[in-house]
Amino acid sequence: MGLGNFIRDSRRILKLATKPARGELWMSTKVSLLAMFAVGMLSFIIQILMTLITSGWGIAAEG
Q: What is the mean pLDDT of the chain?
A: 90
State pLDDT tens for residues 4-15.
Answer: 999 999 999 999
On whether the CB atoms of residues 63 and 55 are closer than 8 A, the answer is no
On whether the CB atoms of residues 50 and 42 are closer than 8 A, the answer is no
In 1-63, alpha helices (H): 3-16, 22-53
- Indicate whether 6 belongs to any domain: no
Domain range for 44: 21-54
pLDDT (average), residues 4-30: 93
Is the distance from CB of 20 to CB of 28 less than 8 angstroms? yes
45 belongs to a structural domain? yes
Residue 28 lies in a domain: yes
Coil vs helix vs strand at 17: coil
